[in-house]
Amino acid sequence: MNIINKVKDLDRKLDCFITVDEKSKPLCEGKLSGYTVSVKDCFCTNGLRTTAGSKILENYIPLFDATVVEKVKNEGGLIIGKTAMDEFGFGTFSANCAYKIPKNPWDLNRSCGGSSGGAGCISAVLEKHIAVAESTGGSISAPASFTGTVGITPTYGRCSRWGLLAYANSLDKPGIIAGNVKDAALGLSIIAGYDEKDSTSINEKVPDYTKSCRTNLKGIKIGIPKEYLSEGIDEKVKSHFYKAVETLESLGAKTEKVSLPMTKYALSSYYIIAVSEASTNLAKYCGIRYGATLPLKGNFDEFASKVRTKYFGEEAKRRIMLGTFTRMSGYRDAYYLKAMKIRQMIIDDFKKAFKKVDVLASPTMPVIAPRFDEISKLTPLQNWAMDILTVAPNLAGIPMISVPCGFADNMPVGLHIIGNHLDESKLIHTAYAYEQKANLNRGAEI
């Protein structure tokens, strides 16, 4: 069966693509020759529909490629399509996608996680596949954990955001999901790098991350933040995590307890900053120059309100309104500015820890992938609380990787390894050594 037909077949069962590119051809020979690549639907693809999971961009055909897409094309990657996601990245289960809700290949009644759910899903079932994904508050780690795949969220600014449909600009980080650490490292080596089109991208040389795939962990110090193993974490998840720590120690790593006292403020600070920025990014969608629209009627305010009300989903509306509130004069200092200050304190927390240890380790998600019927019963706040372990490193813009560390109730559990700014190599080293020893990566049968 040719690859596109195979992808279409998988998509029929799993709903992981918003758009499959049937005409795709590799542009050239390169490091990605022989690989298929999927792109989360929040990245612009020249001439290929890009929706960010939202109805407001239902027929949007970008005029340019995102930088990470261009880099993939230049290395001979075959882009098979655009993966499903929560609308503009607003979610942890991909259940807020306006098109399809990807199903977890390990149990079709369960979520793939989000917001890069489609990316996690396809990486779990397709070999030699690299999924270009994006994380704002945990959108790479969550699906990697839930689908038994490897997800790398690099340092903020390591990969260019040019062509990324913004959720929260100071938090958005392009990254990779793949079936194993080596493929993820390869993917990151290709999409990382300075870009003059993104003024916040970091002007530092990109190492070949695949060279960090080494198996000995002698000399590596791993910190275990005690705040990340509090009562909210599922006991089964915890026990797999402790087993993983033993494995890491058996490879020569030293582990020690560390404390990140600002942890309890991370969730609120994260959501305040994220919605404040998101509400400004989504202001541009008003039905005039591009995107979904209506016949011109009424004045501009009435027209824009009609278009936005019709095409934005509920979670988008919730975050737009909350973000409008948190930056409104009178509240701005207490919410937006205060959260920005706490963000600095959270970074300082991590910096202090990294003076003592090389990397930090914790469970990636507090639970295994929930069932859709469970998700539908969650309040927005309970929903947001699922990000409890991922928001702090995302706020700090430090890199993190999730690798499978076992199965609870036949569902994958993720080990989260977190590093200092630009320490992606250390994460890949640690994760690779663990992966080789634990030997838990296996594709889902479908």
Partner 1 sequence: MIGLEIHVQLATKSKMFCRCPTGYDESKPNTATCSICLGLPGSLPVFNKKVLDYAVKLSMALNCTFPKETYFSRKIYFYPDMGKNFQITQNESPLSRNGYIEIDLNGKKKKIRIRRVHMEEDPAKLIHIGKITDAKYTLMDYNRSGMPLCEIVTEPDMESPEEARIFMNKLNSILQHLGIFNPDFCTIKADANVSIEGGERVEVKNISGFKSIEAALKYEIERQNKEMKSSGKIERETRHFETETGTTHTLRKKEAEADYGYIFEPDLPVITLETDYLAKMRDVLPELPDARAKRIHEQYKLDKSVADTIVLDKHLADFFEECAKKIKNYELLANWVLGDLLKCINYNSITINDVSKNGFMELMEFIEKEKISPRQAKEVIKVFVEKGTSPKEIVKKMGGEAITNDKEIEAVVKKVLEKNKKAVDDYERGNENSFNFLFGQVMRETKSRAHPDIVRRVLKKLL
Partner 2 sequence: MIDEKTVEHIAKASRLELSSDEIKKFSKQFSDILKEFEVIDEVDTGKINPCFHPVETKNVMSEDRVTECLSTKQALSMTEHKENGFFRGPKII
The catalytic site residues sit at 40, 115, 139
Tell which positions 211-250 bind partner 2, by CB under 8 A.
Answer: none
Residue 161, binding choice from partner 1, partner 2, none, Cβ under 5 to 8 Å by partner class: partner 1
Complete DSSP assignment for 325-387: HHTSTTTTIIIIIHHHHHHHHHHHHHHHHHHH-SEEEEESSSSSPPBHHHHTT--HHHHHHTT
Residue 340 dihedral angles phi and psi, to the nearest 5°: -65, -35
Tell which positions 383-422 bind partner 2, by CB under 8 A.
Answer: 384, 395-398, 421
Residue 94: both structure tokens together: 């991909």
Residue 247, binding choice from partner 2, partner 1, none, Cβ under 5 to 8 Å by partner class: none
Reduced to 3 states (helix: H, G, I; strand: E, B; else coil), residue 224 is strand
> Contacting partner 2 (CB under 8 A), which of 108, 334, 352, 371?
334
Biggest distance spanned by C-alpha atoms of the chain: 69
Tell which positions 34-53 bind partner 1, by CB under 8 A.
Answer: 43-44, 50, 52
At 110, which helix (H) or strand (E)? strand 107-111
Stretch of residues binding partner 2 (CB under 8 A), selected from 83-91, 230-238, 342-350, 427-435: 342-350
- Which x/- pattern, by CB under 8 A, does the window 140-159 give for partner 2? ---------------xxx--
Residue 74, binding choice from partner 1, partner 2, none, Cβ under 5 to 8 Å by partner class: none
At 20, which helix (H) or strand (E)? strand 17-20
Residue corresponding to tokens 């640690």: 430
> Given the complex with partner 2, which of 74 and 170 has the nearer CB atom?
170
Residue corresponding to tokens 């600014």: 157
At 174, which helix (H) or strand (E)? strand 173-178
Tell which positions 103-132 bind partner 1, by CB under 8 A.
Answer: none
Total residues contacting partner 2 by CB under 8 A comes to: 72
Shortest Cβ 130–partner 2 spacing (Å) = 24
Tell which positions 163-202 bind partner 1, by CB under 8 A.
Answer: 163-166, 168-170, 196-200
Residue 444: both structure tokens together: 């889902």
293: contact with partner 1 by CB under 8 A = no
> Contacting partner 2 (CB under 8 A), which of 167, 335, 432, 434?
335
3-state secondary structure 112-124: CCCCCHHHHHHHH
Q: Which of 273, 265, 237, 230 is nearest to 137 (CA)?
A: 273
Tell which positions 304-333 bind partner 2, by CB under 8 A.
Answer: 304-306, 308-309, 312, 317-318, 320-322, 324-325, 328
Whole-angstrom distance, CA of residue 383 vs CA of residue 111: 13
- Binding region for partner 1 (CB under 8 A): 43-44, 50, 52, 57, 60, 62-64, 66, 161-166, 168-170, 196-200, 276-277, 279-280, 283-286, 288-290, 296, 300-301, 304, 324, 327-329, 332, 336, 340
